[in-house]
Structure 1
Amino acid sequence: MHNSSISSFIIFLTLLGGREIPAQVLTLNNAVETGLNNYASIKAKNNYLSASKATVLQSKKEYLPNLNLSAQQDYGTVNGQNGPLYGLGLSVASSGLPLPQQNWNSAFGALYLTNVNWDFFAFGRARERINVSQMAVNRDESDLEQEKFQHCIRVAAAYLNLLAAQRLTRTWQNNLERAAALKTVVVTRAKNGLIPGVDSSLANAEVSNAKISITQARDFEQEQANNLARLMGITDQQFQLDTLFFTRMPQSLADSAFKTQNHPLLKYYANRIAVSDQQAKYFHTLGMPTFSLFGVFQGRGAGFSSTYASDQHAYTQNYFEGIKPVRANYLLGIGATWNMTSILRVRQQVAAQSFISNALKEEYNLADQQLKNQLILSENKIRNAFTNYQEAPVQVKSASDAYLQKSVLYKNGLSNIVDLTQALYILNRAETNRDIAVTNLWQAILLKAAAAGDFGVFLKQ
């Protein structure tokens, strides 16, 4: 996700599961660790990193001399002809004097060749190629780290969402129990003629609504469990989570100064720029000359005699005589090659790579700006969530007292079913708001950790 926004840190991603884990209390740390070990994208980036490291070794070995061994055994004629030729396309290298006329005398021949060629100096081309490979390793390492960091945020967000869903399910279960208890009271009083029969119908409707609501809550809970299981790379979706998050508030909500340049995502973007800059340096060396050392040792055999030019019968078709090396030559030399027109091509290649570096720098600046804005937003969300967190118990207490009062009044015939069901609805809404307020507070802390680039900001709470 090279160009994704920071908000994607808390989006639920999906991945088909792998192995199962035992059914027990699942802590946040265990969920994160399991996700880091199982998630396929992290495994993929590990393989990319291993490939980059192998490329570094390959680049270092590119500087070694080329050693070529060649052997061939042939059968054919040796007719020669005076005339100019250019080495274009395929041709044979039969060696023989030009004879007055064509003949079809054939014999065996052989060529054994050892060639060493070493480009020992090319103005740092080999060194720059190695540097490019090493920069790619740094880039892939930072890519792996930022993927791990983002996945920690994803798993933590999914964990909190599932915890909130389980809490909401319990709240709706409490609402169903209150509605069922109310129904029992209403039906009994209606049968005894103390209240109108329509009250029992309203009570039945309220119970039915509570059942539908709890089914919807369970469906949402199952969806969140599925998200968490996929992010953890497992198939078991029955989780018993640590409810510590609902028993206390974060330890510290004070604003903290964070430097975004230490963010794993920005480190990855910075390493992408470094790779591009290094590639530009490497491309620049492609326009420079190459100095080479070379050496050749050659052995040759032929079924044609040295007197064949004057006696066309002086040859043998014996295979072993033809392939036996009878002449040898060696050659040592130093040379330089420089394609002068490559300078024009390389200049444009370097310019193109410089534009790519500039584009990567702009992407870095964009990500940095998004992170800074996200950090400011997270601080605002923390303050707002903390305000709601403090207000939620007041709402629950007031709604609970109102429901108790309306319930007592109704049982004594001093209130009606509409007022009582309204109080029931307000109490359920208050309990739901309380659960959401707690979750939003922890989610705001997690958002701050995502923007700061430090998952420890969340874990320390």
Structure 2
Amino acid sequence: MQMTSKKYFPSLLLTLSLVGAGEKLSAQTLTLQQAVETAVANYGSIKAKTNYLSASKATVLQSKKEYLPNLNLSAQQDYGTVNGQNGPLYGLGLSVASSGLPLAHQNWNSAFGALYLTNVNWDFFAFGRARERINVSQTVVNRDQADLEQEQFQHSVRTAAAYLNLLAAQRLIRSWENNLERANALKTVVVTRAKNGLIPGVDSSLANAEVSNAKISITQARDFEQEQANTLARLMGITDQRFQLDTLLLSRVPRVAADSAAKPQNHPLLRFYSNRIAVSEQQAKYFHTLAMPTFSLFGVFQGRGAGFSSNYAADQTAYTHNYLEGIKPVRYNYLLGIGATWNMTSMLRTRQQVMSQKFVSNALKEEYDLADQQLKNQLILSETKIGNAITNYREAPVQVQSASDAYLQKSVLYKNGLSNIVDMTQALYVLNRAETSRDIAVTNVWQAVLLKAAASGDIGVFLNQ
């Protein structure tokens, strides 16, 4: 089975954008650990790959039992004629095995007959063919097990990312609500002063526009929050989209944020690619055994009955139509033997088959190297993102404080007629932007740590925080 790295790797390259806001609608808090565990337990693709793994394990048992001897039991009871004819035949197609001497003329004398047969056949030696078939089945189990683990890992990363996105969306709504409150307060001041003739009437129009813009922004934020809730619910395999998340997660930055970069080791994705290579190489070994001869032991025991008498050749009336007499076995034979079969031309076919499988192995190795390179580059990028996110996290409070001071100053100046509405709305915008940056700064640190966990192959680096 061939699969390219493009199918599995993109979910590890996390581009995590955080915008908008949302509503807290439920009363029960959903922790990050609970969200990931629920997602891994419920998601359809993980359940499917669990069944694929079970099927592979059953195939191993089947392969082991393929080495057992074949034991065939056969019984037949017939009614017909026994006319014989001299002449050569080849066992091609369907024919009857009536055993009678070639008489001088055709007759239609009929009687009952029976054959009871036990056959044992055992391919006891085929230069390791059975063993290699079992090994192929076992490596398929290992591959499917690794496939399940990497799917669980990647889905854990996707779920954690969706959880953080929703948490950021819900956190940001406070900034937009604060912005609406300030816009309403400004509108009240502006309308009062305009009615008293202290400022132009156009200022009240601008204030109304700011209030309307703040309301639209909240609506858009809540729409985005619902999209993130929908994404999280889909990844968790549930339909309820009313979440109250664990906000304590954002009360601090993760400790691992300052850790030095570690090389990806034993990454679930790389283990999966490694097992794909192992399956291909094991299949090549199995194909090689198909060119070798097969040694077999066999034994037969049979009993036979017939309604025709032993002197039927001399007396064509020496037969009976009695059913019980015809099916009763009266002659027995046994046979024991050893044999070998070798299709000499199979070497020409299997040689090309082995070469083809080796090329497949080489292709899988190239895909492994590509995934390994991408993971290493992603790990380097995650370290840079962690550093940048921490810098922004530390700078965000300074920005908020400065913007708050500027807004307060412009507000006082405007109320005293020393500033205009344009400067006031600009200060309002700067303060809202600063609060928004502050709200997502800590989330971006967690997202960067998640990116590192995805690249290093250890989700515990993130969940254990």
Tell me, yes or no, if the aligned pair for 1:187 and 1:200 is still in contact at 8 Å: yes
The residue matched to 1:262 in structure 2 has which SS? coil
Give the C-alpha shift of residue 255 in structure 1. 4.2
Structure 2 CA distance for aligned equivalents of residues 44 and 189 of structure 1: 68
**For each residue in 1:219-278, what CA deviation from the matched residue of structure 2 results, as whole angstroms up to 9, or x when unmatched?**
110000000111111111111111123321222333434232411110111011111111
Matched, 1:403 2:404: no
**For each residue in 1:264-312, what CA deviation from the matched residue of structure 2 results, as whole angstroms up to 9, or x when unmatched?**
1101110111111111111111111111110001111111111111111
Structure 1 match to 2:22: none
Of 240, 246, 250, which residue of structure 2 is paired with 1:242? Answer: 246
Matched, 1:8 2:11: yes
Of 286, 289, 311, which residue of structure 1 is paired with 2:293? Answer: 289
Structure 1 match to 2:36: 32
Of 444, 449, 456, which residue of structure 2 is paired with 1:445? Answer: 449
Tell me, yes or no, if the aligned pair for 2:256 and 2:449 is still in contact at 8 Å: no
Structure 2 match to 1:19: none
Structure 1 CA distance for aligned equivalents of residues 420 and 250 of structure 2: 36
Of 366, 370, 376, which residue of structure 1 is paired with 2:370? Answer: 366
Of 376, 385, 389, which residue of structure 2 is paired with 1:381? Answer: 385
Give the C-alpha shift of residue 444 in structure 1. 0.8
Structure 1 match to 2:119: 115
Tell me, yes or no, if the aligned pair for 2:265 and 2:456 is still in contact at 8 Å: no
Q: Which runs of 4+ in 1 moved over 3 A?
A: none
Of 46, 50, 53, which residue of structure 1 is paired with 2:54? Answer: 50
What is the identity, as a one-letter code, of the residue corresponding to 1:8? S
Q: Which moved more, 1:257-266 or 1:342-351?
A: 257-266
Structure 1 match to 2:283: 279
Unmatched tracts of structure 2, length 5 or more: 17-25
Structure 2 CA distance for aligned equivalents of residues 437 and 70 of structure 1: 78
What is the identity, as a one-letter code, of the residue corresponding to 2:129? R
Structure 2 match to 1:203: 207
Tell me, yes or no, if the aligned pair for 1:63 and 1:119 is still in contact at 8 Å: yes
Question: What's the C-alpha RMSD, in Å, of the aligned pairs?
Answer: 1.5
Structure 1 CA distance for aligned equivalents of residues 87 and 232 of structure 2: 80
**For each residue in 1:111-161, what CA deviation from the matched residue of structure 2 results, as whole angstroms up to 9, or x when unmatched?**
111100011111111111111111111111111111111111111100110
Structure 2 CA distance for aligned equivalents of residues 252 and 308 of structure 1: 97
Tell me, yes or no, if the aligned pair for 1:260 and 1:266 is still in contact at 8 Å: no
Q: 1:23 to 1:354 in 2, by over 3 A?
A: farther
| Counterpart mapping for 1:182-201 below 5 A | 182-201=186-205
Structure 2 CA distance for aligned equivalents of residues 108 and 124 of structure 1: 47
**For each residue in 1:395-437, what CA deviation from the matched residue of structure 2 results, as whole angstroms up to 9, or x when unmatched?**
1111111111111111111111111111101111111122232
Q: Which moved more, 1:416-425 or 1:236-245?
A: 236-245
| Counterpart mapping for 1:256-405 below 5 A | 256-405=260-409
Unmatched tracts of structure 1, length 5 or more: 13-21
Structure 2 CA distance for aligned equivalents of residues 96 and 360 of structure 1: 63
Give the C-alpha shift of residue 37 in structure 1. 1.0
Structure 2 match to 1:172: 176
Structure 2 CA distance for aligned equivalents of residues 422 and 261 of structure 1: 51
| Counterpart mapping for 1:405-420 below 5 A | 405-420=409-424
**For each residue in 1:295-338, what CA deviation from the matched residue of structure 2 results, as whole angstroms up to 9, or x when unmatched?**
00111111111111111111111111111111111101111111
Tell me, yes or no, if the aligned pair for 2:305 and 2:328 is still in contact at 8 Å: yes
Structure 2 CA distance for aligned equivalents of residues 373 and 206 of structure 1: 45
What is the identity, as a one-letter code, of the residue corresponding to 1:364? Y
Structure 2 CA distance for aligned equivalents of residues 7 and 435 of structure 1: 28
**For each residue in 1:31-89, what CA deviation from the matched residue of structure 2 results, as whole angstroms up to 9, or x when unmatched?**
11111111111111111111111111111111110000111111111110000111111
**For each residue in 1:169-203, what CA deviation from the matched residue of structure 2 results, as whole angstroms up to 9, or x when unmatched?**
22111111111111122112222222221111111
Structure 2 match to 1:15: none
Structure 1 CA distance for aligned equivalents of residues 418 and 445 of structure 2: 41
Structure 2 CA distance for aligned equivalents of residues 186 and 259 of structure 1: 60
Structure 2 match to 1:150: 154
Structure 1 CA distance for aligned equivalents of residues 449 and 433 of structure 2: 24
Structure 1 CA distance for aligned equivalents of residues 220 and 35 of structure 2: 25
Tell me how many residue pairs correspond in the alignment: 452
What is the identity, as a one-letter code, of the residue corresponding to 1:147? E
What is the identity, as a one-letter code, of the residue corresponding to 1:238? R
| Counterpart mapping for 1:219-230 below 5 A | 219-230=223-234
Structure 1 CA distance for aligned equivalents of residues 114 and 9 of structure 2: 68
What is the identity, as a one-letter code, of the residue corresponding to 2:365? K
The residue matched to 1:75 in structure 2 has which SS? strand
Tell me, yes or no, if the aligned pair for 2:265 and 2:457 is still in contact at 8 Å: no
Structure 1 CA distance for aligned equivalents of residues 262 and 241 of structure 2: 37
Q: 1:160 to 1:42 in 2, by over 3 A?
A: same
Matched, 1:99 2:69: no
Structure 1 CA distance for aligned equivalents of residues 415 and 210 of structure 2: 17
Structure 1 match to 2:216: 212
Structure 2 CA distance for aligned equivalents of residues 259 and 109 of structure 1: 77
**For each residue in 1:357-403, what CA deviation from the matched residue of structure 2 results, as whole angstroms up to 9, or x when unmatched?**
11110010000000010011111111111221122111111111111
Structure 2 CA distance for aligned equivalents of residues 258 and 321 of structure 1: 85
